[in-house]
Structure 1
Amino acid sequence: MARLAEAAVRMCDAGVVEALASILADERAAWFDVRINALKALGELTRATARAATALVAPKTFSAVVNVNKKYKETPVEAQRLAVQCYINLLDYHETMRALLTPQFIQDLLHILQRIDIKLKILACSALSMLMSEDPGRQLFTSKGGEKIVSENLKVEHLGLRTALCNLILASVTNAGAVVYHGIGTLHYMVTNRQARYAVSAWEAALESVFKHNPSAKFAYTGRLDVTDFTHDGFYVQKRISDRFPPLKDIVRDARRPFKDPVFVINFGKSKLASEPSHERSSSDSKVDSNLRNYLDNLLSWFGEPESSCKGSKSMQYTEVDESEYEVRYREKCHEVSTTLKSRAEQLAEFVVEQMCGLTEERDCSMLSVDLHLADLMLDLNTSVLPLGHVRCGGPLERALLYKALADRVAVPCALCRGGGGAWCEVAVPESDPDEDEIIPGTALRGYPAGLLRVNYIVDLERGRLVRAGGADAQRVCGVTCSQRYVAGKSPDECYCDALFYV
């Protein structure tokens, strides 16, 4: 009868939900054939109509369903599964979901995840994933230690459970949650477990979602930050990567003299050009890299604020124009954007080279000079964690980091790569019709949408210029195409491609 909408509504009006809840709460009744059937009926009613769901979330009736899992030692596992299925039905409705979005309810679901039954765990993951659609739900999930419980369950080799857990990670991960996953080793486990990455379809998506909230870890484990990945305050990179990429707080805590391998940290803080009251500035301004902030303020004074420059630029008003006239306007606009963006990327490259060219008139930036400069900085600051703005003599890694950090804040689409014994930056400049003479054979994509950015220039941070991707100059900056990424985890196999040229 519950599958017929009109009948379900009439039963709700007649108080059937309250009657079924009272049967479920009667401890003298037998579980099988009585209380379990009451649970099944409640599940069908809540699935059929929102009125039944509203009646069930009332405190007196809902306590009967909650007690099924609270007293799990006295209830059969079939009843526990049916109770969680009732939760899922209730979460399908916005009003009842807001009523269930409480710390106690999320804690109850996390307790269910710690039990043995796999099907029960999967149902709990589904219920939690539905609660994560609201920001308060994600905050409560982290405050109740949900990341640790998920990490423990990920080690259970069950395909369905791992898929449900990965979907839960996708729905629940936040910046704070990504830090927790990194700190307890879950991120390293997900990266290095190659068998699970191939077997579980949602594994890669969950890993990418964690990387999205932790770009430092993404760069360490993949060797690349894409154009859509942005460096935030607190982004850090190790000069020498070990088997496991540690959290920054562990690096600071374990730093001991003599300092060997530096760690570069980015922290711009508030811009001086930002129009905001002084009392809103955070108390962490003492940790802000003043040199980096001065770099950014100088660049913004040259280029202008990205938001204001976009608003002040010429825009096409919506008017009915002839198709040929529209094409002319479109090409003019594309040419204007392309020219401005390319010029900005080139000027930024020159600026980075000027700041990282060394402290002497000879501009000696050899490997020995860079290592000596970094060693002096670590001694002066008494730590191996170096603010990037303090580095004035930099090699490929230091220059690429500074370029990426500044490019993200002056609206230059930039990707950061590391591998082949060095690091470099790639920029994406939209081009409507590139010159045929400038196209490297094999690199042009016919019919590629102009609105989608793709990397087409390599930044030469030794000379301060842009070079076409795929050319000989680009290969000199990036290394050979088969060179391995320099990433955390297992060291790549040795490559002998360079030796082939000398045979």
Structure 2
Amino acid sequence: MPKKKEADTPTVDEKFDALDLTTKEPKTVVLMLNSSENLVIAKACESLHKYAEKSERNRLELLNLSAVDPLLQHLRSTDKAIRAHAALCISSLSTHSDVRKLLRKLNSIPVLISLLNADESSISQEKASLTLSNMAGDFTSKIAIIESNGVSSLITLLSSPDCDIQRNCVKTLSLLMEDYQGRAAIRECDGLSSLVSLLDSEYPVVQELALLTLTHCSQDGESRECLRDIGALQKIVEFLQNKSYGDLHVHALQMLSNSLEDVTSTQLLQGSGALTSLLQFTQEATSSDVQRHAVSSLGRAARNPENRRILHEQDMETTLTGLLNSDNCTVAVAAAVAITSMAESPVCRDTIAKEEGISGLVKLLAREESEAKEAALLALSACTASAAANCRLVVDHGGLEHLIESLSHEKMSIQANAATCIANLATDESCRADIQQVDTSVALLLKMLESSDNVAKSRGATALASLLRDAACRSELHARDGVGSLVSLLHSTNEEVRHSAGWALSLCAQDAVIANEICSLGGLDVLKELCESTSRRSQFTQLALDCLLDNCISAKYWLTGQLSPTDIIQDGFYDVGLCRAGAKFLTLEDLCKQAVDQSRAILLINAGSDKPTAAASNLETDQSSDVKHTETANLPKERSQSRTRGGRGKKAAKSEKDLEPQGRSDEPLPSQRVDEIPSWQPPLDQHFRSYVDHIRQRLLPLATVQEQVEYLATFVSNQMGGEIEQSAVTSFSYEHSIGKIKYELKSNVVPIGRVSTGIFYHRALLFKALADRVAISCSLVRGGYNRAWNVVLVPKRPRNVDGQTVQFPSQKFVVDLMYRPGCLMAEDSQEAIRYQHV
């Protein structure tokens, strides 16, 4: 049997000759990536890299040809050359956002980080780090790099001799440090020292990226602590002193600005003398951009109170005030902003003024640039807060004119800051007078109230409120119809606007004329609604309501049902009854113009002229006066005799004006000029005028307050129908008599003197009105079911105790005007309680 022929060894003729393939189709080259030959794969990667470098369109085409997945697979190849060429191609493709999205989806980060190892070629390291820097801008990629221990590998390569690798690694780290996870990771790897060492690099791009990364790191408190521990702050200050690094000083200052937020950093620089060097650098910097950033860094540090103290010890105010006069506007603006922070301290405010800082700020305010005006106004606001001397300096250096002009600036923030300055100046009486002498000041502030900007509205109202402390300003506001603008601000949805408007109205309401106008414009109703709201009420609106009610006691009695002894009833007071839910408070003029109806009569107090009437002198004998009076015989005998004694006559000679309550006068208020008195006048009440004159003549001779109260009570009772049996109250008819008066007057408003038949609330009102005219301490309280009563304060007579005269405190009594006129009942007695309730 023949032997089996052994397999022949391939001859040269059976080998495939090398093929030089030329193709213009990228699709063909992409197919070559699936070759089993390393040389073909390497050539294909190289060709695709060149194609991708040409345009964004080419990179998108390769993405659509599914080139990314096989390239990523070749990053895991055992062949170094293939890994290098694949990394080269992917780095070019990764500049396209869609490619980066696919790389994240394919979990490429761990593969790329593996190429950063020391045994890889420099090309693989460079291109892998470049791809990572392209992808690190996305948050998901940042987390993947951190979780794959990429931070450690990147830090290791910072010491690479290859500049491109250093640049790519530090750029990637810079992007990672934007988030706190990256900052924590670099601290764990002790990578901050490596970053600081890059400041000595011979490549500016590496230095710049290192500074940017350190700036991101310094945003974190723990990282700032680490930077202090490794001496990074002193290194930065030394870096600033190197003039050859001038184009990088801005980046260094940004990092230093973050670090100086910590008091510990500032103290460290002060202790090492670096802070002095920094201030000197700030003064001597030749680049305006660098100087501006240096000032901004110091100003940012000055936001902290302890830092302000340290900077004050370093005479920072001298540096800042000097830079206010810089020819470069941006530097002067930065200095003004820093002064704003420093001026938070009263000590620094004084130093700024001593260093001519106020005059420098006024000069800055005079510049045309809006940025300069805004910064100067902000600094002046801080320097004049609670500093009367600085306020005076602003005026003395001509700043008031520029402040007033700024109120009409087109930029709302400038208007707002100018209004704040004016509000500060107005706290000083002399400055306030200077402001009021400028004719346009109030008008411009009123115009700000119509602004669409809430900050401008609020600041304008605040400045106006500061001026309204003076009656002259309130008169001007009234003359310019500005009260309505303030009332309208109460409807604002902005809390600060409502607060400022409430404060301004509380000052306006000190004038009775304006208080009545506020009520007529609906201000009372709005304030009442705000104070009843749980979400919109504030101390400012409550203050405005209280001041308004104190100076418009008609509204106060309507709303609260009480008038205290200090609430003096003057001419023009009217009682519209109890406040009902949803009811609006109407002015007396509106009520007088209403048609007569069946509603409760509005009781009016209006004596008119303060001159005695002829009827008063003949009150007891002249029947034509229509004044019902109390016969002397109705008083106790001993009291009648006491009025005829000579000793009492000497007291009677005392001027009647001395018995009137202080501050109560029927003359127009100082702020109410004659030409401001409205054309419409409420009806006069000659009967009440006669009551006043009669009471003044009769009560003056009486020795004690108790005697005066008893006489006044009896008088009031007699004018209102006399004593009434308690059982007859319900049958006591008074409606018909008052209805007849309403018909005669053709008005629902009835003067109190015309009421001849009255019950509790008629008598109590008349008693209070007369008591106020003769300085008897009396309150008025409204009850239910037409009840009302008066509480008077009667001093007790002094007694002799153990040979010493002892003065006992006064006692409060409820005055009976119905059942036993003149009877005084202790306020808390059962007798008084029965009188007050049905």
Query: What band does the TM-score fall into relative to the shorter chain?
Result: 0.7 to 0.9
Q: What is aligned with 1:52? A: 393
Q: What is aligned with 1:473? A: 831
What amino acid does structure 2 have at the position aligned with 1:177? I
Q: What is aligned with 1:382? A: 746
Q: Within 5 A, what are the aligned runs for 1:315-354?
A: 340-354=704-718
Q: What is aligned with 1:318? A: none
The reply to whether residue 106 of structure 1 matches residue 463 of structure 2 is no
What amino acid does structure 2 have at the position aligned with 1:160? E
Distance 2:792 2:552 in 1: 22
Q: Within 5 A, what are the aligned runs for 1:42-441?
A: 42-43=380-381, 49-50=390-391, 52-56=393-397, 58=398, 62-72=400-410, 75=411, 77-101=412-436, 102-173=438-509, 174-193=511-530, 194-195=532-533, 199-238=537-576, 243-256=583-596, 260-269=599-608, 270-272=610-612, 287-304=683-700, 340-357=704-721, 369-421=733-785, 422-431=787-796
What amino acid does structure 2 have at the position aligned with 1:228? T
Alpha-carbon shift at residue 127 of structure 1 (Å): 1.6
**Greater C-alpha radius of gyration:** 2
What amino acid does structure 1 have at the position aligned with 2:356? M
Q: Map Cα deviations across residues 148-191 of structure 1 (whole Å, 9 max, x no partner).
A: 11211112234433333222222222111111111111102222
Alpha-carbon shift at residue 357 of structure 1 (Å): 1.2
Q: Map Cα deviations across residues 388-419 of structure 1 (whole Å, 9 max, x no partner).
A: 11111111111111111111112221111112
Q: Map Cα deviations across residues 283-337 of structure 1 (whole Å, 9 max, x no partner).
A: 99994322112222222222118xxx9xxxxxxxxxxxxxxxxxxxxxxxxxx8x
Alpha-carbon shift at residue 374 of structure 1 (Å): 0.8
Alpha-carbon shift at residue 40 of structure 1 (Å): 4.0
Distance 1:92 1:239 in 2: 41
Q: Map Cα deviations across residues 48-104 of structure 1 (whole Å, 9 max, x no partner).
A: 635531245x4xx645443433132xx2x3333322232234324333321111452
What amino acid does structure 2 have at the position aligned with 1:203? T
Distance 1:125 1:455, change over 3 A: farther
Contact 1:234 1:266 in 2 (8 A): yes
Q: What is aligned with 1:316? A: none
Distance 1:196 1:137, change over 3 A: farther
Distance 2:774 2:483 in 1: 35
Contact 1:68 1:83 in 2 (8 A): yes
Alpha-carbon shift at residue 229 of structure 1 (Å): 0.9
Distance 2:524 2:513 in 1: 14
Distance 1:401 1:260, change over 3 A: same
Distance 1:409 1:275 in 2: 10
Distance 1:148 1:264 in 2: 28
Distance 2:467 2:752 in 1: 40
Q: Map Cα deviations across residues 206-237 of structure 1 (whole Å, 9 max, x no partner).
A: 21110111111111111111121111011111
Contact 2:723 2:820 in 1 (8 A): no
Alpha-carbon shift at residue 346 of structure 1 (Å): 1.5
Contact 2:574 2:588 in 1 (8 A): yes
Alpha-carbon shift at residue 196 of structure 1 (Å): 5.5
Distance 1:110 1:407 in 2: 42
Alpha-carbon shift at residue 106 of structure 1 (Å): 1.1
| TM-score between the two structures when normalised by the length of structure 2 | 0.45
Contact 2:593 2:747 in 1 (8 A): no
Distance 1:64 1:377 in 2: 62
Distance 2:449 2:811 in 1: 43
The reply to whether residue 457 of structure 1 matches residue 796 of structure 2 is no
Which SS does the other structure have where 2:734 is aligned? helix
Distance 1:145 1:427, change over 3 A: same
The reply to whether residue 19 of structure 1 matches residue 359 of structure 2 is no
Distance 1:163 1:295, change over 3 A: same
Contact 2:571 2:607 in 1 (8 A): yes
Contact 1:356 1:391 in 2 (8 A): yes
Contact 2:403 2:418 in 1 (8 A): yes
Which SS does the other structure have where 1:261 is aligned? coil
What amino acid does structure 2 have at the position aligned with 1:466? L
Contact 2:374 2:414 in 1 (8 A): yes
Q: What is aligned with 2:333? A: none
Alpha-carbon shift at residue 478 of structure 1 (Å): 0.7
Distance 1:208 1:216 in 2: 13
Contact 1:356 1:393 in 2 (8 A): yes
Alpha-carbon shift at residue 43 of structure 1 (Å): 4.4
Distance 2:759 2:686 in 1: 21
Q: Map Cα deviations across residues 318-374 of structure 1 (whole Å, 9 max, x no partner).
A: xxxxxxxxxxxxxxxxxx8xxx112211121111111111699xxx87656201111
Which SS does the other structure have where 2:776 is aligned? coil
Alpha-carbon shift at residue 423 of structure 1 (Å): 1.4
Percent of pairs with identical residues:
24
What amino acid does structure 1 have at the position aligned with 2:463? A
Q: What is aligned with 1:325? A: none
Alpha-carbon shift at residue 272 of structure 1 (Å): 1.1
What amino acid does structure 1 have at the position aligned with 2:592? V
Distance 1:204 1:90, change over 3 A: closer
Distance 2:535 2:695 in 1: 42
What amino acid does structure 1 have at the position aligned with 2:543? A
Contact 2:737 2:757 in 1 (8 A): yes
| Alignment gaps of 5+ in structure 2 | 1-316, 322-347, 614-654, 658-666, 669-673, 800-806
Which SS does the other structure have where 1:369 is aligned? coil
Contact 1:353 1:463 in 2 (8 A): no
Q: Map Cα deviations across residues 254-280 of structure 1 (whole Å, 9 max, x no partner).
A: 224x5543221111231418899xxx9
Distance 1:205 1:50 in 2: 27
RMSD, matched Cα: 3.6
Distance 1:170 1:450, change over 3 A: farther
Contact 1:429 1:456 in 2 (8 A): yes
| TM-score between the two structures when normalised by the length of structure 1 | 0.72
What amino acid does structure 1 have at the position aligned with 2:688? L
Contact 1:129 1:168 in 2 (8 A): yes
What amino acid does structure 1 have at the position aligned with 2:472? P
What amino acid does structure 2 have at the position aligned with 1:52? L
Contact 1:428 1:456 in 2 (8 A): yes
Contact 1:54 1:96 in 2 (8 A): yes
Which SS does the other structure have where 2:794 is aligned? coil
Contact 1:53 1:96 in 2 (8 A): no
Q: What is aligned with 1:317? A: none
Distance 1:433 1:18, change over 3 A: closer
Distance 1:8 1:35 in 2: 19
